[in-house]
Structure 1
């Protein structure tokens, strides 16, 4: 489990670095490229975490917590969208459209 946790930590550090670079980037094209790479890094983190969690055991035909999981995902997406929206605005300039 230790190696898996180390890999997860490395993926999280990669995401943090990409996020910071995307926030600091002034060129719109480069920022979009960094955000696309951030999305790919997030997908890699999710895959790694899924592998670390291993197979889930649950009774046949039940999916406990599925609605809660969907609400958490939706809330996280809204937060990410809000952060990206605020970061893409410059003082005195309208927000750029993608």
Structure 2
């Protein structure tokens, strides 16, 4: 019994078939490892004020997904494989965010 591929899978496969780009690999790796400043909240008489902390950081994507970090950082992983993992991860993140927002 044949089942047609989902739109998600078709988009993902199109993305993964793109040729290797060192610049894209570096950009996605940087995005996965960056720890942005934590947003802090302060209650004042005039209301709530939000600001970026100078001392605290949010976790990176790799902090939240240590198995992915291990697979990407393994010495034996080739650059094209690292890029494919990162492309797939960020595609999944984007699609899961979009589908969640659409259903709410």
TM-score by length of 1: 0.31
Q: Whose Rg is larger? A: 2
TM-score by length of 2: 0.30
The structure with the largest helix share of the pair is 1
The structure with the largest strand share of the pair is 2
